[in-house]
Amino acid sequence: MKKISLILFLVLNSLLVSCSSNDNDENITQDLLIGKWKRFKNETICSSGSESSEEYSACQQNGTITFKSDGTFVDEPYIFFNNNCEVDGVYNGSWEVIDGELFTKQNGNASSKKVDYFQISDNSLKIGSKSTPCDNESSDSIKYIEFIRF
């Protein structure tokens, strides 16, 4: 009986620890995301594992995305047009992290959408989506934007 009680205690304890760890990880992810991020480069990852990268121009690197603590974001991409570097629209919406996945909803859209590719560290944010196959493969590739903390 003591052995069964000990096993039950250990199982329940591990469940409680793992739940609290996930909650903590999610808070860390949200805390890391909050702030202003500068566009740095485009990346493509083919299903074969090959990667290609294209660094943004100096003008495009003026583009930012800001994730606010109230769960909203502002995306301001820049483009070089008619010999001028200018904002190419301002996009507002809301965001949330659920189970380590980023969900966004642009203002005017009815529902939020899970971001296909999401990685974050202290100074790097990668956000992307599935794209057409590359390297003559049949599986989707991933295209993402890498941001650096502003």
Quick check: 36 pLDDT over 80? Answer: yes
How far is 42 from 54, CA to CA, in rounded Å?
5
pLDDT given for residue 113 in this prediction: 94
Which pTM value belongs to this model? 0.80
pLDDT given for residue 138 in this prediction: 86
Say how many CA atoms lie within 13 Å of 135 toward its Cβ.
13
Please count the other Cβ atoms lying within 10 Å of the Cβ belonging to residue 88: 15
Q: How far is CA 60 from the centre of its chain?
A: 19
**Per-residue pLDDT tens over the stretch 64-102:** 999 999 999 999 999 999 999 999 999 999 999 999 999
Quick check: 12 pLDDT over 80? Answer: no
Domains, the chain, in order of start with CATH, read 2-149 (2.40.128)
Please count the other Cβ atoms lying within 10 Å of the Cβ belonging to residue 104: 19
Q: Which residue has the higher pLDDT, 143 or 6?
A: 143
pLDDT given for residue 23 in this prediction: 55
Q: Is 125 helix (H, G, I), strand (E, B) or coil?
A: strand
**Per-residue pLDDT tens over the stretch 47-67:** 888 999 999 999 999 999 999
- The closest alpha carbon to 35, from 128, 123, 100, 114, belongs to 123
- Work out whether the CA dihedral 7, 12, 17, 21 comes out positive or negative: positive
pLDDT given for residue 6 in this prediction: 33
Do residues 126 and 116 make contact, with C-beta atoms less than 8 angstroms apart? Answer: no
